[in-house]
Chain A
Amino acid sequence: MNRYLIPLFVMIAMISFLLLGLGDGRDPSKLPSQYIGKPAPDFNLPMLTDLSRTLSTSTLKGQVSLVNIWATWCVGCRVEHGFLMELANSETIPIYAINWRDNRSDALNFLGQLGNPYIASGFDRDGRVGIDWGVYGAPETFLINNKGIVVYRFTGPLNRIFWEQEFVPRIAEIEN
């Protein structure tokens, strides 16, 4: 009798292993960031609004902040823009940005018309910094702690529900 149970257990083990890969919350099109728990990748970019000033990793140190990857060609960025404005107006957290592979005048128009939620946007014309950050599609939002460590990356348009669910508990955890 026992020898018939062995294949059954092997089967159960294989099925549970495969189910792990199919289970909820594992969207294969969403890649985990390689920088979780590591320092935010070094960058040094001219600011979108004033190319003579620079935005760099050192700007982020000493505060909990968001770094949002956006572009005017990105539909999801338009979708989340309203929520980012809300977030900026509530002064919950400083929002920095990397304007990724964009046209400068389009980007300035976008912010002029819809409002500018960012303390500063770095202007990453050729997408070099985007690659260093492991960006694979805009919008992406990184949560950086006060030591400059990447705590979390959210991909896709951010809204209040995801904010409450994914960011608020993590920020609370950093502050404790």
Chain B
Amino acid sequence: MICRIISSLALTFFAASVFAIDSEQAFNNPDLQARYENLIAEVRCVTCQNQNIKDSNAFIAADLRREIRRMIREGLNNNEIKDFLVTRYGDFVLYRPRYEGKAIILWIAPFLFFVFGGIAVVRVIRYRANLPIDEALDKDGPNQ
């Protein structure tokens, strides 16, 4: 039984690598290869929006991989490559939106929620700590 589970899992994982295209090494230089792989994992496939272009075999994903390889070969840095993509497809194309413009709210919103939530919790606790014990038991919370 366990053997069957393992083999079906193995088949599942191998199936994915069969469909991956131009997945062979693109650069001899390991640094460039690593940069390339990081970049294509961060770029959204615009036709198949829940995939990055590393995993997608859509035409457009293959084209974008080819363009990214070309730009890396031409010596462009990651920022310049992301600019190229964002100019054409918008911020949406990057899985990690950049820390600028409208996207800033995405980055700071969790901290704002945390701060305001913390303030609310502290206020409620302080308020209840000051209530006389009898009253706190009789009434279900602060109602003034």
Q: Please report A residues at the B interface, Cβ cutoff 8 Å.
A: 3, 28-29, 31-32, 34, 41, 101, 126-128, 130-137
Contact: A28 with B49, CB < 8 Å?
yes
**Of A3, A31, A128, A132, which contacts B46 at CB under 8 A?**
A31
* Nearest A residue to B89, CB-CB: A134
Q: Cβ of B63 < 8 Å from any Cβ of A?
A: yes
CB nearest neighbor in A for B66: A126
- Nearest chain B CB to A15's CB is how many angstroms away? 16
Complex contact B89–A31 (CB within 8 A):
yes
Extra 18 A-B pairs, beta carbons < 8 Å, given A101-B63, A131-B67, A136-B60: A3-B142, A28-B49, A31-B89, A31-B92, A41-B88, A126-B63, A126-B66, A127-B63, A128-B63, A128-B67, A130-B60, A130-B63, A131-B60, A131-B63, A131-B64, A134-B89, A134-B90, A135-B60
Main secondary structure of the interface of B (DSSP, over half): helix
Task: Given A136-B47, A136-B60, A137-B47, check contact A34 B67 (CB 8 Å).
Answer: no
CA distance A151 to B142 in the complex (A): 57
Residues 63-96 of chain B, each 1 if its beta carbon lies under 8 Å from chain A, else 0: 1101100000000000000000011111010000
User: In the complex the two chains form, is B60's CB within 8 Å of A137's CB?
Assistant: yes
- Bin the interface of chain B by size: 10 to 19
Answer whether residue B59 sits at the interface, using C-beta atoms and an 8 A cutoff. yes
Residues of B within 8 A of A41 (CB): 88
Specify which chain B residues have a CB less than 8 angstroms from the CB of A29 in the assembled complex. Answer: 49
A-contact bits for B35-48, CB 8 A (1 contact / 0 none): 00000000000110
Of B66, B67, B89, B142, the residue contacting A136 (CB under 8 A) is: B89
Cβ–Cβ < 8 Å partners of A34 in chain B: 86-90
- Within the complex, which residue of A28, A32, A101, A133 is in contact with B59, where a contact is CB–CB below 8 Å? A101
Query: What is the CB-to-nearest-CB distance from B36 to chain A, in angstroms, rounded to a whole number?
Result: 17
User: Which chain B residues (127-144) contact chain A, with CB distance < 8 Å?
Assistant: 142
**Contact (A136, B63) CB under 8 Å given A31-B89, A34-B87, A34-B88:** no
Known: A127-B59, A136-B47, A137-B47. A31 touches B67 (CB 8 A): no
A30 → chain B closest CB, angstroms: 10
Residue of B nearest to A10 (CB): B116
How close is A139's CB to chain B, nearest CB, in angstroms? 13
Chain B residues with CB under 8 Å of A128's CB are 63, 67
Assess whether B88 is in contact with A132, with CB atoms less than 8 Å apart: yes
Q: A41 CA to B84 CA in the complex, in Å?
A: 13
User: In the complex the two chains form, what is the Cα distance from A132 to B47 in whole Å?
Assistant: 16
Top-9 shortest CB links A-B: A136-B46, A134-B88, A127-B63, A137-B47, A34-B90, A136-B47, A134-B89, A101-B59, A131-B63
For B88, list chain A residues within 8 Å (CB): 34, 41, 131-134
